[in-house]
Structure 1
Amino acid sequence: MSDKISTPSSLITAALTLIALVAFAANSVLSRMALGGGEARLIDADSFTLIRLLSGALTLWFIVGCMHLYQQKPAKLSDSLTSLKQHSYQHHPFYNWRKWLGALSLLAYAWLFSIAYLSLDTATGALVLFGAVQLSMNVVAVIQGQRPTAFEVIGSVIAFIGLGYLLWPNIGTPQYWSMILMALSGVAWGMYSLLGRQSHSPVLDSADYFSRSMILMLAVLAILSLAMNVNSVQLTLSNTLQSAHYDGVILAIVSGTLTSGIGYAIWYKALTGLTPSKAAALQLSVPFIAAVGGVVFNHETLSLHLIASGAIILSGISLVLIARNK
């Protein structure tokens, strides 16, 4: 089963891209709503990540099953499930290192993203995240043999200056380390996006990545249990079940189901109709959308320092993209 019939038209690509970008920004808003607030925090980062990945995987596999059932129209539901299982294993064998690499990228992005939002506000987190995404994708382009022009070099330097200006006043503070973690999360998301351009079945691939990332997260928690002599898996599940703030669980489910699972599948579909430079440029709008969402839903304020550093970072990256399109 392949859910990619052909390259989408320009209008469909534009619609899919808009939905995906809003979903990316909504992830920042939802995560900050659940994880921010200090003592009023609704859920811990590990539980939020675990629920987000699990709900995303379940949602995507449900969609995959419905699509397969519609396309195959089997006489029995059991026949459809057997056919889906055979097809999934044929195109996504368990021992496929590229699939595990994609899952690792997704897990690194989601987990570091959650930890970073324990102290970052919505706009700052989104700006650092997507600034790191663009810079990392530009580095990959150079590694792949794309020789940078003078304007690309200048633009990259400007972007790094803006990022340094954003980080400088926070050096040594918890927020500084959260920014570093968010930057690493952005690098992981950049890798995940690059892998997504090779997808021939966006929904099925996304379901597979989410499932594998769940396996990896449980494995990491198990390793931590052995290393720290603490049952990390049981502790994470216990924290989730015993939490008095079930709003945090609901926000994690919404994030996993709508803005992550479905949102990423839509983004994978949109990528088939976008060039790498266009995909990179369009993601620059996410910090702005997230900032508006943070002000409206999380009652945050935008500082002059954040606005100035954001303008510098986005100007530098825009210069890189303009130079590349010439």
Structure 2
Amino acid sequence: MSPLRLAVFTGLSMLAFTGNALICRAALLGGSIDAASFTALRLLSGALMLWLIVWLRGLQRRAAAPSPRASCLSGLVLFAYAAAFSYAYARVPAGAGALILFAAVQTVMIGYGFYRGERFIPLQWLGLLLAYGGLLALMLPRAGAASASSPTPFAYAMMLLSGGAWGVYSLLGRRGGDPRLVSAHNFLYALPFALLLSLVMLWLEAPQWGREGVLYALLSGAGASALGYIVWYSALPALKATTAASVQLSVPLMTALGGIVLLSEPFTLHFLLVSLAIVGGLALVIFSKSRRVAKSGLRP
């Protein structure tokens, strides 16, 4: 892949990840669709788009399909990410949600690295302490800031669950195979779980299917999710691990900016400081690891 194409693909995928957060927040903030219906439509439209691409490219004939067991596990984790994402963004602002999601994803990655025997140098521990301190400051209630519209502990917990599930989904995706075909199977296997959630929620609340909410769900699934994943996984093999991790630092910042500009979310000094702490702390962890690997003569 040429450097220009790689840069374009990487930039488009970051915009898609940012768009997912903004689209979901806009749909649920407006109240034109409920979280369960948004999740189901997002996964359904994503599955249809991915299988259309698989069919047009003839991938089912040229690539080995993943095992049903692997697809079922990945589908369950994908559903957990999407459902928790929707329920969280019903109450959490776009920028704050993206910061929490990103921190949770990196926590899973860091935990997996520790499980594999990786250990931190003092500078990485400092970065981790800074990031988690910022995350705690973001989620703790502040004096004078409480209101009926403030995020609840449940909403924050859902976003942490969503980020953790996405981290696990990313680790499961390292098993190999054509990412388009694997993603198509994963979305397909996630659909029964989404349908079950929708049926359960029928007992608790009436579904909402406003035109704007349905359109947002379709854009999120077929566009930002399905096409975004394909573009990202096309660029990922050509990126160094550190580069891939560092470019993702842009997503919570772009999401916060989009929330301010497009969704009229407030910009405060408190949010700026916790954003710098979380993103800066995680950047310190990533780049300290990069320098350590470079000194050892290995390719990060």
Normalised to the residue count of structure 1, the TM-score between the two structures is 0.81
Aligned to 1:99: 71
Aligned to 2:32: 42
Rounded to whole Å, the distance in 2 between the matches of 1:180 and 1:168 is 12
Rounded to whole Å, the distance in 1 between the matches of 2:113 and 2:192 is 31
Ranges in structure 2 where 5+ consecutive residues have no aligned partner: 292-300
How far did 1:233 drift?
Answer: 7.1
Rounded to whole Å, the distance in 1 between the matches of 2:229 and 2:274 is 28
Q: CA RMSD in A?
A: 2.4
Residue 20 in structure 1 maps to residue 10 in structure 2: no
- Deviations for 1:32-56, whole angstroms, at most 9, x for unmatched residues? 110014xxx1100000000000000
Rounded to whole Å, the distance in 1 between the matches of 2:101 and 2:223 is 20
- Structure 1 pair 102/34, CA: closer, same or farther in 2 (3 Å)? same
- Deviations for 1:126-178, whole angstroms, at most 9, x for unmatched residues? 11111211222111111111122221122111111111111122699643321
* Counterpart mapping for 1:282-301 below 5 A: 282-301=247-266
How far did 1:290 drift?
Answer: 0.9
Rounded to whole Å, the distance in 2 between the matches of 1:265 and 1:236 is 36
Residue 134 in structure 1 maps to residue 92 in structure 2: no
* Higher Cα radius of gyration: 1
Q: Percent identity?
A: 37
Rounded to whole Å, the distance in 2 between the matches of 1:91 and 1:237 is 38
* Counterpart mapping for 1:1-326 below 5 A: 8-37=1-30, 41-68=31-58, 84=60, 90-94=64-68, 96=69, 98-169=70-141, 174-219=151-196, 231-232=199-200, 239-240=207-208, 243=209, 245-326=210-291
Rounded to whole Å, the distance in 1 between the matches of 2:205 and 2:221 is 17
8 A Cα contact 2:79 2:190, kept in partner: yes
Corresponding residue SS for 1:239: coil
Ranges in structure 1 where 5+ consecutive residues have no aligned partner: 1-7, 72-83, 222-230
Rounded to whole Å, the distance in 2 between the matches of 1:125 and 1:150 is 29
- Structure 1 pair 196/19, CA: closer, same or farther in 2 (3 Å)? farther
Rounded to whole Å, the distance in 2 between the matches of 1:49 and 1:311 is 31
- Structure 1 pair 200/13, CA: closer, same or farther in 2 (3 Å)? farther
Question: Residue type of the partner of 1:322?
Answer: F
Normalised to the residue count of structure 2, the TM-score between the two structures is 0.87
- Structure 1 pair 258/321, CA: closer, same or farther in 2 (3 Å)? same
Question: Residue type of the partner of 1:124?
Answer: A
- Structure 1 pair 274/237, CA: closer, same or farther in 2 (3 Å)? farther
How far did 1:198 drift?
Answer: 3.8
